[in-house]
Amino acid sequence: MAYQVLALKYRPLLFDDLIGQSHISQTLSKAVETGRIANGYLFTGPRGTGKTTSARILAKALNCVEGPTATPCNKCPICNEITAGSSLDVLEIDAASNTGVDDIRTLRENIRYLPTSGKKRVFIIDEVHRLSGSAFDALLKTLEEPPAHALFIFATTEPHKVPQTILSRTQRYDFRRVTTAMLAEHLQNLANKEKVEIDKEALFLIARKGEGSVRDALSLMDQMIAVADGPISLEQTSRTLGVVDRKIFEKLLEIIAAGKTEPIFDLVKVLFESGVDSADFVNDFISYLRNLLIQKSTSDPAGLLDISESEKEALVRQASFFSETDILRMIQILADLLGKLKIGYDERIFLEIALVRLARMEASITLQEVIQRLKQLSANQPAPASGNMFDNLKPPHAARPANSQPTTSYRRPSQPAQSSPTPPPQPPPPPTSPTSCAPPPFQQAPRPANDQIIPGQPINLPRVQMGWSGFLDLLKKRKQMLASMLSEGKVSDVTDNKITVSFAPTNITNKQVAQKPDAVAVIEETLREHFNIAIRINFQIDASVKPPPVASEPSAGLEAVNTEDLFSSDPDLKKMVEQIDGEVIGKKKIEE
């Protein structure tokens, strides 16, 4: 037997078999059961959603030997002929190739003949919007008053091109796009029937590529089954179908959030070498950013996002990287890029420039935040005499000597005063030392409290993670032991310019030493110097963090020890360790 493609092999035979069209299957089933059949039906919707299939099922429901029934038997000769497309009572016409008025006149001549074996003659006109205006006019009278044995079913993907006179004479049913999750589940069921092993993420990729069309998704599934020799993986599916894996977008977004440009050129090189279309890549990236915007903006994104669980976890993690305004600006830059790609110049150059712009894009800040930060800055300085808060930003005047007195200018009176004698001359003040005229020493501004908003551009997790090794190198020049302790931790979160470093339970000593006030001051000062942003730091113990591997040679002969118990039994040892900023790594017996 010849091979039959999946779209035909598993074509729905009953209303209940339709995928994602329950609102239509229930309505048509009820109409058949109650006998309320209209003269004409108009099925509209995207391609591959079941319009022609529903027309055939309705024709079987009306002509089945057990009917009219909402569940045709699919066993009688009439049902088999309709399924095979060979029934004389069900005529399928392609309006794209039969557009003229003469074709409609022929149809009007044939409609008067009674059905040969069934109860109804059903005329299914696909892509009805392709009919000419004269053809629509010739169809009006027959559609309004057809013979009792005739039924018209129109199918179209562009209902706005159908004249209003036709729409008013038919019942309209709008078919919906099938959701990605529902389509992936349907593909999984067919894969089980075909005994094909395929990765779940690959199914979601095929379903997303189908864009809500069951027929398109099944065609892609056929293609993957033909290519694969064994289990179908996500990487193989992405490479075969020319679809960019969502993990690429996750990686790209983290690169953009970190402000790095060098990895962008490497990523674009890989994309072009793999043959990915630039316009498709940009459209998919815009779709990914749209999902990120929904995750960021809505309280219940699950009802709006049609993605897999792993993609949801990535969106939840990346939602804190950008503000809503930043995401909108990124989408606008990519939308402008789509217009440039149509010009015909070097697509690679345009794509690289746009992605570099995203990486170099400054974070958005609202006017309210600017005012709030200016108020905070002015609160830490004395109020200017003019009342203008921006006067505090002017450079200060030279400092007055500590023992100097203010001078007063006055006008000499026109007549000398008679009652006041001239005071005796005062001796000149003693000469001041050079140091007394020097300005007061510089005093560092007080550090903001932990609950205050720190001025500066916000920082995100990818930027900290990519720059963490450089920060540790800088800290090592100042506090080598402290840098070594921090290297054993993991940056787990960045929120409101506050970095959270997690340590394994076995490294509780590192946490205790690092969170001392003097250590925190050194760390935050180094962070400010390295990232050029005011940053706070916090430490915690996380059981999910794995302790770093310990080298075998330095720890040879050492016995593990509980640091807390050791310090509680020997306070002097604890005091000594704190003074030298040291760490207890074990206990070793010294032979005499």
Instruction: Work out the average pLDDT over 79-102.
Output: 88
pLDDT exceeds 50 at position 413: no
3-state class (DSSP) for residue 126: strand
The 3 state secondary structure assigned to 213-245 is CHHHHHHHHHHHHHHCCCCECHHHHHHHHCCCC
Q: Kindly list the distances between the CA atom of residue 491 and the CA atoms of 133, 259, 460, 463, in Å, as whole numbers in the listed order.
A: 68, 18, 11, 11
pLDDT exceeds 80 at position 547: no
Give the DSSP H or E segment for 325.
Answer: helix 324-341
Q: Kindly list the distances between the CA atom of residue 29 and the CA atoms of 91, 197, 273, in Å, as whole numbers in the listed order.
A: 22, 36, 52
Task: State the pLDDT at residue 574.
Answer: 74
3-state class (DSSP) for residue 172: strand
* Percent of the chain whose predicted confidence (pLDDT) is above 70: 79
Provide φ and ψ at 193, rounded to 5°: -65, -35
pLDDT exceeds 70 at position 561: no
Q: Kindly list the distances between the CA atom of residue 360 and the CA atoms of 258, 260, 323, 328, 391, in Å, as whole numbers in the listed order.
A: 9, 8, 15, 15, 32
pLDDT confidence of 558, banded at 50, 70, 90?
low
Provide φ and ψ at 548, rounded to 5°: -70, 150
Task: State the pLDDT at residue 216.
Answer: 93
Task: State the pLDDT at residue 389.
Answer: 43
Based on C-alpha coordinates, what's the Rg of the chain?
39
Amino acid identity of residue 372, one-letter, is Q
Is 461-548 in the same CATH topology as 180-241? no
pLDDT confidence of 527, banded at 50, 70, 90?
confident
CA angle (536, 539, 542) in 5-degree steps = 140
Pairing type for strands 490-495 and 498-503 reads antiparallel
Query: In the β-sheet with 498-503, what is the strand arrangement from edge to edge?
Result: 490-495, 498-503, 536-541
Amino acid identity of residue 394, one-letter, is K
Task: State the pLDDT at residue 396.
Answer: 42
Token couple for 282: 């940009």
Task: State the pLDDT at residue 533.
Answer: 79
- Each domain of the chain, given as residue ranges in start order, spans 6-174, 180-241, 246-360, 461-548
pLDDT confidence of 299, banded at 50, 70, 90?
confident
Task: State the pLDDT at residue 138.
Answer: 86
Burial degree of 470 (CB within 10 A; 0-12, 13-18, 19+): exposed
pLDDT exceeds 90 at position 187: yes
The 3 state secondary structure assigned to 455-479 is CCCCCCHHHHHHHHHHHHHHHHCCC
| Choice between 419 and 51, residue whose per-residue pLDDT is larger | 51
Q: Which CATH class is domain 6-174?
A: alpha beta
- Least confident among 40-54, 133-147, 287-301, 362-376: 362-376
Pairing type for strands 171-174 and 490-495 reads unpaired
HSE at residue 485, side-chain half, CA atoms within 13 A, is: 25
Task: State the pLDDT at residue 188.
Answer: 93
3-state class (DSSP) for residue 418: coil
> CA end-to-end span of the chain, whole Å?
90
Distance CA 112, CA 96 (A): 24
Task: Collect all residues with Cβ–Cβ distance below 8 Å to 454 and sequence separation of at least 6.
Answer: 448, 497, 534, 535, 536
The residues facing 93 across adjacent strands are 125
Q: How do the residues of the chain divide into helix, strand and coil, expressed in percent and rounded to 5?
A: 50, 10, 40
Q: Contact at 8 Å (CB) between 311 and 276?
A: no
Q: Kindly list the distances between the CA atom of residue 109 and the CA atoms of 81, 102, 112, 139, 311, in Å, as whole numbers in the listed order.
A: 23, 11, 6, 12, 57
pLDDT confidence of 589, banded at 50, 70, 90?
low
Distance CA 24, CA 21 (A): 6
pLDDT confidence of 549, banded at 50, 70, 90?
low
Q: Contact at 8 Å (CB) between 439 and 398?
A: yes
Q: Contact at 8 Å (CB) between 225 and 198?
A: no
Task: State the pLDDT at residue 290.
Answer: 92
pLDDT confidence of 451, banded at 50, 70, 90?
very low
| Choice between 245 and 393, residue whose per-residue pLDDT is larger | 245
Summary mean pLDDT of the chain: 80
CA 254 to chain CA centroid, nearest Å: 11
pLDDT exceeds 80 at position 262: yes
Domain 461-548 CATH assignment equals 3.30.300.180: yes
pLDDT confidence of 177, banded at 50, 70, 90?
very high
* Percent of the chain whose predicted confidence (pLDDT) is above 90: 29
pLDDT in tens, 476-497: 888 888 888 888 888 888 887 8
Amino acid identity of residue 398, one-letter, is A
Query: In the β-sheet with 150-156, what is the strand arrangement from edge to edge?
Result: 90-94, 121-126, 150-156, 40-44, 171-174
The 3 state secondary structure assigned to 56-119 is HHHHHHHHCCCCCCCCCCCCCHHHHHHHHCCCCCEEEEECCCCCCHHHHHHHHHHCCCCCCCCC
CATH number attached to the domain at 180-241 = 1.10.8.60
- Least confident among 111-115, 255-259, 348-352, 412-416: 412-416
CATH number attached to the domain at 246-360 = 1.20.272.10
Distance CA 504, CA 539 (A): 11
3-state class (DSSP) for residue 490: strand
Provide φ and ψ at 539, rounded to 5°: -125, 145
Token couple for 383: 């109020």
Task: State the pLDDT at residue 332.
Answer: 92
CA 398 to chain CA centroid, nearest Å: 54
3-state class (DSSP) for residue 513: helix
Q: Contact at 8 Å (CB) between 123 and 150?
A: yes
Token couple for 410: 């006055």
- Least confident among 138-147, 201-210, 534-543, 567-576: 567-576
Give the DSSP H or E segment for 491.
Answer: strand 490-495
Instruction: Work out the average pLDDT over 253-281.
Output: 88
